[in-house]
Structure 1
Amino acid sequence: MKTEINPNETSRRNAFNWWISSTQPMVTVVKTFNVGKLRKASKRMGIKFNTLLCWCIGKAASTVDEFYLLPEDGKMYRYDKLAINVIVIDKKGGISMCDIPYSDNIRTFDADYQRLTALAIDKCEILSLDGYMVIGTSALPQTELDVIVNQYSGTLNNPFAVWGRYRRSLFKTTLPISFQFHHAQMDGLHACRFLNNLQAEINRL
Structure 2
Amino acid sequence: MKQEINPKETNRAIAFELWMKSPMPMVTVTKTFDVTRLCKVSRRRGLKFNMLLCWCIGKAASGIEEFYMLPQYGKVYKYDCMAINVIVDNIKGGLSFCDVAVCADLEAFNANYLHLTETVRQTCQDILGDEAVSVGTSAVIVTELDSIVNQYSGIYTNPFLAWGRYHRGWLKTTLPISFQFHHAQMDGSHAARFLEELQKTINLI
- The reply on whether 1:114 has 2:114 as its aligned counterpart is yes
| Contact residue 154 and residue 182 of structure 1 kept, 8 A | no
The percentage of aligned residue pairs carrying the same residue is 58
Look up the match of 1:179.
179
Unaligned runs of 5+ in 1: none
> Which whole-Å CA distance do the structure 1 matches of 2:82 and 2:44 have between them?
26
> 1:44 Cα deviation (Å)?
1.9
Please, what is the CA RMSD of the aligned residues?
Answer: 0.7
The aligned amino acid for 1:21 is K
Unaligned runs of 5+ in 2: none
Look up the match of 1:16.
16
- The reply on whether 1:161 has 2:175 as its aligned counterpart is no
| Contact residue 2 and residue 131 of structure 1 kept, 8 A | yes
> Which whole-Å CA distance do the structure 1 matches of 2:88 and 2:62 have between them?
24
Secondary structure of the residue aligned to 2:174 is: strand
How many aligned residue pairs are there?
205
Secondary structure of the residue aligned to 1:87 is: strand
The aligned amino acid for 2:113 is Y
> Which whole-Å CA distance do the structure 2 matches of 1:130 and 1:123 have between them?
20
The aligned amino acid for 2:170 is L
State the Cα deviation string for residues 153-202 of structure 1 (Å, max 9, x = none): 43210000000000001101000000000000000000000000000000
Look up the match of 2:196.
196
The aligned amino acid for 2:141 is P
Structure 1 length-normalised TM: 0.98
Pick which of 145-154 and 186-195 moved more: 145-154
> 1:122 Cα deviation (Å)?
1.0
> Which whole-Å CA distance do the structure 2 matches of 1:43 and 1:183 have between them?
38
Structure 2 length-normalised TM: 0.98
